[in-house]
Structure formats: C-alpha cells, structure tokens
Structure 1
Amino acid sequence: MINRRLNNEGQHRETLFPINKILIAVVCVILIFILIFFLYPKPFRYFAFYASRVKNTFSYYVLNSRPNFYYLEMEKNGKDIRAGENEALDVTYRDEFVIKSVVSDDLTGKYMNVKVEGLNKGKNDLGVLLKGVELVDKIIKSGTMINDSGIVSDYKILINYRNKKIASVPLKVVITPQDWFRFAKDSSNVKEQIEYLKKAIDLNKNDISVRKILAGVYSRQGRLDEAIGQYKDVVELKPDDTIALGELAKCYIKKKEYDESIKISRQIIKINPKEVQAYISVGLSFAEKGLWDQAIQNYREAVRLEPDNYPVRLKLAEAYKNKNLMNAAIEEYKYIADHSKEADLALLSLGDIYLKLKKYESAIKYYKEVIKKQPRSVAAYANLASAYAGTGKWPEELDNLKKAVSLSPNEPTVRFNLGAAYDRKGMNSEAIKEYEHVLKVNPDDADALERLGDLSLKNKKFVQAVKYYEKLAAKSSKNGTIFANLGFAYGEMKKYAASAENYEKAIKYGAKNSNLHYNLAYTYDKLGKEKKAIAEYEKISPPTKEVLSILGQFYLKEKNCAVAIKQYKKIAQIEPKKAESYESLGYAYTKCNDLDAAIKHYRIALKYDREDDEAYAGLGEAYEKKGLYQEALKAYNSAYALNPESAKAAQKIPKMKIKLLQEKAQKKIRSDEE
C-alpha cells in the first residue's frame, strides 16, 4: 500500500515537471518578445505588421474577405512617401504628387482605385500628376471657410475596392499668405484684390510686404485713411522702413495734411539724410502751403543729391516762378532744356514765363521750339497765339488758334480763346459760333455763357441774353454782375418786376456798376413805386444833374423846400457857369414863394445866357407873383421875342397888360377919391 502510494507521487512529479518547463519556456519567450519590443520596436512592428498582412491576405484570397488597406505609395515633390489612414497628408500650393500604388490585401491591385476629392482628374487618380495649387485654388474660389491657421481638412483621398470605399487618407490643405497674394495679383477686380490681401494678412500679420501692397491698392483707390492705417502698421513692425514712410508721407499730401507729411518726411531724412524722395515730399508740402522759401530749400537739396532729377528741377523752377524769382526760374528751365532728353515741358514753361513778362518775341521763340519737337502740341499753338496777340499780330494769332482747334476740336479753352479773338475784332457771328461750340462740349462753361450773354445784350437780343444769364445765375448765385445784366435785359423787355428783382440781387451781391441804383430807381418808377425810386436815387454817388433834378422835383412836390433847394444848389455847384443851373434854382424858389431869391437866380441865369426864353418866362412869373406887373410884362415880352412859340409868354403878355390897366384904373380911382 505504501509502495503504491509512493509510485503514484513519483508519477505525478514526472507529469508536473514537463508542464513547469513549458510554462517557464512560455514566460521566457514572452519576456524575450517584450525585451525585443522595447529594444528593437521597429523590427517588431514590421514583423507584427507583415504577420497581420499574411493572415489578412489569406483571409482575402481563401475566405473571400474584404481586403484591408494599409497605405498609399506616393511620390511628392520628387520624394517617395507613404500615406495611411491615421496621418493627414499636408498639401500646399507648391506641392506636386503622384499616387503610385495602393498597398492592400489585393496584391495585384486589379480591383483598387483612388479618387482625390476636389480634383476632377477622372475615375481613377492612380498614376496621375496631381498639383496642390489646383486644390488650393478651388478652395479659395469656392469660398470655403478657412480657419485662422489657414488649414482646410475637408478633403480626402478615397480608396475604393470594386468601386466601394474601403478607406480614406485625410488631406490637410494649407492655405498660405502667398496663395491669397497670388489671387490678388491675378484678379482684375480691385474689391477682390483687397479681400484676398486682407486674408493674406490675417494668416501672417507680420508680413509687411503684403501690407505695403494692400496699402498701395487703397491709395490708388483713394481710400487714403485705410492706406495710412496699413503703412502705420508696417512702420510699427519696422520703424526704419523708409519705403513705407515715404508712401505714408505721399498719402498725407493727397489728404492735404501737409504738416503730417512734413513730419514723416523729416523722420525719413533722420534715418537716411540722402533720401531724395523725402526732400521732394517736404518741398511739395511747403509748396501746397504757399511757403515757397521752404519749398525751394528742400527742392534744392533734392537737386543737389540728384542733379539729373529733372522732374524735381521742374518743381524747383515752378517754386521760383511762384516766388516771382523769374530769373532763377528761367535758369532752371534752361538747364533742363539743355540737358534733358525730355525738355518739352521746360521749353513750354519758358514760353509761359516770357509771355507773363510780356517779352513776346522770346515767348514766340520757345513756343516755336516746342512745336518743332511736338508738332501736335495744342498748348504750344494756343500759347503762341497769345504771344502774337501781345505783339498785335492778329492774323498770326488767329492762324495759331485755328491750328490748335484743328488738333483738338473739342478743347473748350482753345475754342473759347478763338471766340475771344473774333470778339475783339467785332466779328460777332464768328465769336458766337465758337462760344456755342464751347457749350456743346461743356454746357456749364461759365465764361462762354457770360460772353454769349454779353454779345446777345450788345446785339439787343434780350430774350437770348436772359437765357444765357439765367443759366449762369443758377451756377453763380452770388455774381452781382450777372444779375445786373439780367436786370437790364428784363428792363428792355419791359418786364419791370423781374428787372427790379435782379437789380436788387446785383446790389446785394456787390456788383460794381455805377448805374445800378439809377436803373433800379428808374424801374421802380415804372412800377409806380415812387418812394422806393427816390430812395435809390438818393444812393447814387456822386449824383448827376439829372438825378438831382429828379430829387428836387420830388421834394418840391412833397413841399419840402429846404431839401429841394439843396438839390438844385448842387446842380449849380456841378455847372456853376450854366444858365440852366440858376434857372432851376429860380424855379425852386418860385415854387417855395421866396420870390426875391427866385428873381435873383433868374437874373444870374440871364447873365450867362441872354437868349434863354425860359429864364425870361420864369423871371416874369416871379415878378407877377410879387405883383410887379410892369417888370413881369417886360420879362414875358423878352421871352416872346426870343421864342414866339412860347405859350406861357403868349398867354401872360395880355394878362399882364390887363393887370397894368386894372392897376392904373385903381390908382385913378384912389386919386379921384383923394
């Protein structure tokens, strides 16, 4: 019994021994694999990967399972790469790639195909050259939302087995600032350009090049505040960027903020004292402010740094001219004419200076030089005509104006000058034709409207004159001269209310016309507004004899003798040796019953003109009122003798004789009574 038990235990130990060995061996193998995994992970993964592939391939071919996708074999920018499901493929506009093969359980790849979303290359993109720029451009054009980093992850490479999707490789399309810049450059739509450039800046806020380009677009579009904002951002990023500072100064000039431009330009000069454009900007700013000394100083410094910068020399010459330093201006223009290949503007300016100085022969010389170089220069012919006009050579003036017109038939200034030339010679119909042509080109040309109005007024075509002046008045609502002419034209048309209205406006807006108050007074008379008329007559300074006479008669009618006589005395002061002056005073004194003064002034009148029948008649009336009938008869007889057609004398003589007989009879009765 005991032996048997021992035998059983021995057999049990023999059975456990190989099991223990196996367990130990398994543990060792596991430990070895773990050790290999940590010490040599890559070969282990390869081993595991290929072991899995063997198993999956067996399942595909033997068990007809769906094939597993492992990766794509590709060539990107000349380098071989692999792309799997778990890692996105980066694509930028610079990238070019080809999908060479699909690695899957289908070893032949017979039933596999790939399709890159967003690129319409066909049914199968295997072996096709694919360009990242095409995908980038499609994304931008489609308006797809792009995050702040510029990454779009909406696209994939689809792997299909028997036209059914089995896997996909994600694409990470990277939109760079350069992409937006490309689109901005290629677009002819300014609005699109601006949007593309703004998006480029959003992706790289420190890209000063794109900011400068955007600022330039804004500046060309006249969006100066936005341009200034971009240039300021550039300067904040790079304070010594003289290009950005220079453009910023130009923007301020365009905005007429000249002090800011000067400040920025001086900042450039501090950075680089030889920056010519900075001196030019300072010069331009001072010139616009009318500070010619400072402008000249900066232009001269620019010329010193760049002696052959002829555009600056032109600016310097112009500044000299505006400062009235004509000799210095002439010297600059002559330097340009002698040294520059493009001297036409300098020659034209020399002609203009000599024309202004009334040195017409010199002006003619330079204008002819311009014409020799530029036979189609309208300005040269037009100004040459002005120079000939200065010398009094009307035929030459006319010939050159006609030549200018033939070169530019619709140039309003030239046509106007031709009209003015005809106007000066009294060739009204030709002048009118030219002025009317000016209006065809520019219906609102004020000078042509005024000349046509004046010619119409001169030719007594008042309806036409009103048409032109009314149009001009609508444009120049405070031009007193226009309203004065309108008042006259309406007056001649007997439209007195309109005439008065326009005369009133002419006076209100300060028209310099000595007849205005008289014409308005006359118009008020026609309208029956006597007191308004008198008020206007009173404003005439100095008053004429006619005005004083009108005022005197009015005040006599109003029985305001003192003021009336004052007016007549002024007539005597104006014409102290004319009988009519004293005759008027005699008449006024008679009306005011100051008969002695009346007789005195009638006698003074007769002293200056013994043949004045009206003075004798007036003197007779004064004597008659005073009861001196004999003297009255004598005066009336003298009046009648000088003018037998004098109705007053003819009537008064018999009356005076009767008065004398009556007087004589009364004296006899008194004598008999005594």
Structure 2
Amino acid sequence: EPALGGLTKGDINEFPSLAKGLEPAPACIKQGGDLNMDFQVKKTNKKKERLFRYNANSIKFSLKNFKLLIFIFLIVVLFLLSTHKRNSSWTDPATLWKDVIKKGPKKARGYNNLGGFYYKQDKIDEAVQIYIIALKLEPNNALTHNNLGTIYHARRQIDRAINSYITALTVKPDYEKPYNNLGKVYAELGRIDEAITQFRIALKINPELIEAHNNLANVYATQGRLDEAISEYMAALRLTPDAPEIHYNLGTTYQTKGLKDKARKEYELALKLKPDFTLARQAIESLDRDFQGFRLR
C-alpha cells in the first residue's frame, strides 16, 4: 500500500499519534521513493513538441527568405539586362542625345547637347539646324543663343554671332559666358576697350571663369600691359595648373619682359604637360639659340 509521509503501515499501527496531520505522499512517489516515469515521459514529449514546432517555423522562415532572395536576384538580373541594352544602344554621344530627344521631343536640352556634339565634330551645318530647332521650342533659352553665337563666330558670321550673344544676355543678364564670347569677338575686331569691359563683367559674375582670365591676359599683353597680363595668367593657372597653353602664354609674356629664366620654366612646364606642343618646343629652342649667340659674342 502507498506510504503515508514515508511511514509504513506497521509504524502507524504501532504509533497512531505519528499519523496525525500527515497527508498522503504525492502520486509521483512510489514505495521506496522512486520518481514516477509517467511525469518524465510527459515532460520529454512537451520538449519534443516544442522542438518540432521550432524546426517547422525555422523551415517556413528559411523558405520565405529563399523566395525573397530569388525575387531580388531576378530583379537585379532584369535591371542589368535593361542597362546593358540601353548602354549598347548609346554607342556615341549623338545616339545618346537622339534618344533623349526621342523621349522629350519638346525640350531644348537634348537638342542643345546634340548641337554641341556636332559642333565638336566640325559638323557645323548640322549643329546650326539643331540649335534652330531648339530655339523654336524655347525662344528664350540663353544657352541655345550663346551656343548658336559660338557657331556663327566659328563660321566668321560676326554680326550674327554678336546678335546671338546680345540676345542671350538680354534673356539672362547674369550669364557669364556670352560676355566672354562677346569679348573675344570685340578683341578680334580691334575693339580692345570693349573687349576688356566684357571680360571684366564675365569675371565679376564668375571669378573662376578660366577662359576669361586667359582672354583678358592676352588683351593686356597685346597692349603692353605685361604685369597685368602676368597677373591674369597666374590667376588662371591657380584655377587650372595643368593648362599647357596658359603656361606657354605666361612664358611668352615673361620673355617679352626679358625674364628668360622664368620664360624657359613656363615653356618646359607646357612641354611636359603636352609633349607634342610645337610652339613651346620652338620657344625653348629659340632661347637656346639666343643663349648660344650671347656666348659667341
């Protein structure tokens, strides 16, 4: 029979007072004090059930992640294929800007860039036609007027060039490039004071306009204002130290002032930056001949 409080029945019969207040032993305890194995089995089964549910959830989570990764991979592949197809169609800038025009036929941007490409390729007539189309779309586009003026200037259609630059400035008075371009035209026409004024206005709007510094220096040099020319060349070189043409221009100005050592240094820098720069090489050879002639005398 089950024990009461760990006492045998004989103990209870012999000492009845010991049984008072004692409760029956828990069902998990058998005679002799062994653990009830049913309790252990239930506990183990619950652990297995929880482990099974965890594994099942893990598998579901892994499958979900796997599907997500596959989806992302497919999107990336499609994007790369699309990019490759688009890039392969843009074999040159002309194709690119034609594509831009096709997608936005009523916007001047694509025409402006296509016209610029044609101009660089010396396809002047095509460039003019493209810019005219751009102006029909956006008559008040200062950039297009300036670009068209550049082409007219290159074609020696000076009056048209001046009109285009002035129109660009009428549309956008704070646009520095037409001032610089107008200054170049005036300098070529011998209208030096007007040229200087235009270059200075351009630099007032944009002090980092390298071409305007160089152009202003060139005009100063032709006037014999050598120190002012040197100052402008050096300002340009601070903005672009690797410009061989500006080093050459500075060298010629030094040479005019009789500063032959400084001139040689600038010519050598120009030749280093541009090994096929014939004018710089000839200038160095000229200095060498002068030096040899001085020694012979």
Aligning the two structures, in what range does the TM-score lie when normalised by the shorter sequence?
Answer: 0.5 to 0.7
2:183 maps to what in 1? 351
Deviation of residue 317 (structure 1)?
1.6
- Structure 1 residue 214 corresponds to structure 2 residue 84: yes
**Maintained 8 Å contact 1:265/1:282:** no
| Candidates 273, 289, 292, aligned match of 1:457 | 289
Higher helix share: 2
Change (3 A) 1:276 1:385: closer
1:322 maps to what in 2? 154
| Candidates 50, 54, 63, aligned match of 1:110 | 50
Give the alignment of 1:173-252 within 5 angstroms. Answer: 177-180=74-77, 197-198=80-81, 211=82, 213-216=83-86, 218=87, 227-228=88-89, 250-252=93-95
Change (3 A) 1:112 1:368: same
CA distance in 1, matches of 2:234, 2:113: 40
Partner-residue secondary structure (3-state), 2:58: coil
CA distance in 1, matches of 2:119, 2:55: 67
Deviation of residue 455 (structure 1)?
0.9
Change (3 A) 1:277 1:437: closer
Deviation of residue 280 (structure 1)?
4.5
Change (3 A) 1:419 1:283: closer
- Structure 1 residue 125 corresponds to structure 2 residue 58: yes
Change (3 A) 1:442 1:324: closer
- Structure 1 residue 305 corresponds to structure 2 residue 175: no
CA distance in 2, matches of 1:376, 1:445: 26
Partner-residue secondary structure (3-state), 1:459: helix
The aligned amino acid for 1:456 is D
CA distance in 1, matches of 2:120, 2:246: 28
2:164 maps to what in 1? 332
| Candidates 239, 247, 250, aligned match of 1:415 | 247
Change (3 A) 1:427 1:311: same
Change (3 A) 1:443 1:132: farther
Report the TM-score when normalising by structure 2: 0.66
Unaligned runs of 5+ in 2: 1-40
* Number of residue-to-residue matches in the alignment: 253
Deviation of residue 114 (structure 1)?
4.7
- Structure 1 residue 388 corresponds to structure 2 residue 220: yes
Deviation of residue 417 (structure 1)?
0.7
**Maintained 8 Å contact 1:439/1:445:** yes
**Maintained 8 Å contact 2:271/2:277:** yes
Change (3 A) 1:369 1:214: same
CA distance in 2, matches of 1:460, 1:380: 38
Give the alignment of 1:143-162 within 5 angstroms. Answer: none
With a CA cutoff of 8 Å and minimum separation of 6, indicate the structure with the bigger relative contact order. 2
Deviation of residue 361 (structure 1)?
1.2
Q: Deviations over 1:385-417 (max 9, x none)?
A: 111223333332233223334444443222211
The aligned amino acid for 2:58 is D
1:373 maps to what in 2? 205
CA distance in 2, matches of 1:340, 1:279: 19
Change (3 A) 1:447 1:110: same
CA distance in 1, matches of 2:236, 2:117: 35
Q: RMSD value over aligned CA atoms?
A: 4.2
Higher Rg of the two aligned structures: 1
Report the TM-score when normalising by structure 1: 0.32
Deviation of residue 419 (structure 1)?
0.6
Change (3 A) 1:363 1:133: farther
The aligned amino acid for 1:214 is H
Higher strand share: 1
**Maintained 8 Å contact 1:358/1:390:** no
State, as a whole percentage, how many aligned pairs show the same letter. 23
Q: Deviations over 1:125-160 (max 9, x none)?
A: 28x9779467644xxxxxxxxxxxxxxxxxxxxxxx
CA distance in 2, matches of 1:439, 1:129: 67
CA distance in 2, matches of 1:406, 1:351: 22
Change (3 A) 1:438 1:115: farther
